[in-house]
Chains A and B, each alone.
Chain A
Amino acid sequence: MKKNYVSQFIGFTFLRFCVFIVIGILLIILWDVFSKGACAISWEFLTKAPTNGMTKGGIFPAIVGTFFVTVITAALSIPLGMGCAIFLNEYAKDTKITRLIRMSIRNLSGVPSIVYGLFGVVLFVQILNLSTSMLAAGMTLGLMTLPWTITASEEALKSIPNSYREGSLALGATKWQAIRTNVLPYSIPGMLTGVILGLSRAAGETAPILFTGAAFFLPFLPKSLSDQFMALPYHLYIMATQHHDIEGVRPLAYGTALVLITFVFGMNIFSVVLRYQLRKIKKE
């Protein structure tokens, strides 16, 4: 018996150790970014465009650009992703083809983002002739997040007990009525959580927007969807690797990183709060 307890102790200690390492790394990164970037943050930094070859000024165009691109991404990937998920989970029969489709979707989420970037260039910029623009970049990111959105939405739909569907059908509802009135309302919080997590990841991506619309530097804000734009991750990438005075702009790069992390964190927290609120409304 004693031996069992010893091995249990060793096992749990190892698991604890793993958790500590992960949390430790996260804290170190956060601390690094926060301590070095906090001094760069100022009202001016958040509301002004970069000046003097990006060695001075702020990152306002990048914030705006990232925000709007994320909105476009959401506009593409939420309806399309949810629609796919509903069809796959509720309507599609379990055949070889649907299994193949599911497998492809899972695999797509593992495709490197740079590949999406190249695909976006070909499809949106060249074939659809959208030129390098906010729209092209947003749609590329939208495509990239689709597998995530579909998978997360499907999981949310799967979490709705079958008894809701059966109960509804047994009362003489059509399949669509059952889904619309008794499945979707309860799965939307879960869907949104997954979708927003996907979006927050998209917001931090550089590769897909690199060729499709993000600009190195723009002195003005984008005026329409077909304009180029600045984005936080790309801006950060430039400041950290491509700038002529990397050492000099390092504080600005850290400041940008801090803003980007906050943006992503904000979205994640928003998704959690949203889910909590929706759940509360449903419970009444």
Chain B
Amino acid sequence: MQGTAMKNEKFLNATSIFRSQATTQTSSKSVRGESASPVKKNIKIKVESFNFYYGNTWALKNIQIAIKENNVVGIIGPSGCGKSTFLRCINRMNDIIKNTRAEGFIYIDGKNIYEKDQDVVTLRRDVGMVFQKSNPFPKSVFENVAYGLRINGVKDQRVIAQKVEKSLKDAAIWDEVKDRLSDSPFSLSGGQQQRLCIARALAIEPRILLLDEPASALDPIATSKVEELIHQLKKEYTIIIVTHNMQQAARVSDFSAFFMMGELIEYDATSKIFTNPSNKITEDYVTGRFG
């Protein structure tokens, strides 16, 4: 894997990856750098000359990005900059939108997911997604989490019960719902519902977790709980989070990507983006001088 990663980087030869790597190494003293594991991480997701179109609208323009395993990548940018679109390209959720077209490559563990033989269903099992508006299904709390297991053919009730419990624990919501597993999820608070949705995504054990503005509808307390959860989850998952809240990206992410008008303006270590961005546009955006 190490070898592939090296080769990939060489092959990619994009400034962003070299820059970001240099930053991780020199910033071992910086906040994020030191808390990150010293082991050199593999590239989990590599996006190359990726373009996306809604009809005639060029929504994503020549995106290049490489995301390392067990990192949290925050995607920031003004509304309509394509950040959600980009996220939904990674598990091909955009496929269900009519009249769209994707060009280019997104490699996950070295395999291009836009290859013809890629099974979308398998892809989505590996790449979990949590939506902006928490969307618990009108089933019991337990059945919500068990849903993914059931549709993926798990029949053994004991296994299901175990995995549901583990997912709820991983999503840091077990203590709050363990006595109300058969209740409707709509009796939970907004933050609990969102963590339930995260638990539901975790139940099928994905490798990558995509979070589309997971805290935008939550109050500050619930938001900070979700953020702490993200921090916990990065030990086991590679996480990409879209957020219109820059501060949130700063708090939770190791790397940040700034999108504007469908272009990736800057991608670098979060501490770099928020203390000394290389690009003037990024600086204007993160300092609020934008527009």
> When the two chains form the complex, which single residue of B93, B133, B139, B184 contacts A170, counting CB atoms closer than 8 Å?
B93
**A166 proximity list for chain B (CB < 8 A):** 93, 96, 131, 135
Q: Determine whether A16 belongs to the interface, using a CB cutoff of 8 Å to chain B.
A: no
**B150 proximity list for chain A (CB < 8 A):** 181
Do B98 and A94 touch across chains, with their CB atoms under 8 A apart? yes
On chain A, the number of residues with a Cβ less than 8 Å from chain B's Cβ atoms is 22
Q: How many A-B residue pairs have CB under 8 A?
A: 68
Q: Determine whether A99 belongs to the interface, using a CB cutoff of 8 Å to chain B.
A: no
On chain B, the number of residues with a Cβ less than 8 Å from chain A's Cβ atoms is 30
* A172-B124 CB under 8 A given contacts A166-B93, A181-B151: yes
CB closest chain-A residue, reference B203 = A171
Interface residues of A in 182-205 (CB under 8 A from B): 182, 186
Min Cβ gap B158→A in Å is 21
Q: Determine whether B137 belongs to the interface, using a CB cutoff of 8 Å to chain A.
A: yes
Do A171 and B98 touch across chains, with their CB atoms under 8 A apart? no
**B138 proximity list for chain A (CB < 8 A):** 186, 282-283
* A172-B93 CB under 8 A given contacts A93-B98, A163-B131, A284-B140: no
Q: Determine whether A217 belongs to the interface, using a CB cutoff of 8 Å to chain B.
A: no
Residue interface mask B35-77, A partner, CB < 8 A = 1: 0000000000000000000000000000000000000000000
Q: Determine whether A173 belongs to the interface, using a CB cutoff of 8 Å to chain B.
A: yes
Q: Once the chains are docked, how many angstroms separate the CA of A169 from the CA of B148?
A: 10
Do A168 and B151 touch across chains, with their CB atoms under 8 A apart? yes
Q: Determine whether B259 belongs to the interface, using a CB cutoff of 8 Å to chain A.
A: no
**B246 proximity list for chain A (CB < 8 A):** none
Min Cβ gap B204→A in Å is 6
**A94 proximity list for chain B (CB < 8 A):** 98
**B184 proximity list for chain A (CB < 8 A):** 283-284
Q: Once the chains are docked, how many angstroms separate the CA of A165 from the CA of B133?
A: 14
Min Cβ gap B184→A in Å is 6
Interface residues of A in 203-261 (CB under 8 A from B): none
Min Cβ gap A275→B in Å is 15
Interface residues of B in 114-134 (CB under 8 A from A): 121-122, 124-125, 128-129, 131, 133
Do B96 and A169 touch across chains, with their CB atoms under 8 A apart? yes
Q: Once the chains are docked, how many angstroms separate the CA of A182 from the CA of B124?
A: 17
**B93 proximity list for chain A (CB < 8 A):** 166, 169-170
> When the two chains form the complex, which single residue of A171, A177, A282 contacts B200, counting CB atoms closer than 8 Å?
A171
Q: Determine whether B147 belongs to the interface, using a CB cutoff of 8 Å to chain A.
A: yes
CB closest chain-B residue, reference A284 = B184
Q: Determine whether A174 belongs to the interface, using a CB cutoff of 8 Å to chain B.
A: yes
> When the two chains form the complex, which single residue of B98, B135, B183 contacts A167, counting CB atoms closer than 8 Å?
B135
Min Cβ gap B168→A in Å is 16
Min Cβ gap B60→A in Å is 19
Do B151 and A167 touch across chains, with their CB atoms under 8 A apart? no
List the 3 closest pairs (A to B, CB-CB), nearest first. A172-B125, A163-B135, A171-B148
Known: A170-B131, A171-B201, A172-B152. 15 other contacts (CB 8 A): A165-B96, A166-B93, A168-B147, A168-B151, A169-B93, A170-B124, A170-B201, A171-B152, A171-B200, A172-B121, A172-B125, A172-B204, A173-B121, A181-B147, A284-B182
Interface positions of B (Cβ within 8 A of A): 91, 93, 96, 98, 121-122, 124-125, 128-129, 131, 133, 135, 137-140, 147-148, 150-152, 182-184, 186, 197, 200-201, 204
Show 19 A/B contacts (Cβ-Cβ < 8 Å), sorted by A.
Answer: A163-B133, A164-B137, A165-B96, A166-B131, A168-B147, A170-B128, A170-B201, A171-B125, A171-B148, A171-B200, A171-B201, A171-B204, A173-B121, A174-B121, A181-B150, A282-B138, A283-B138, A284-B139, A284-B140
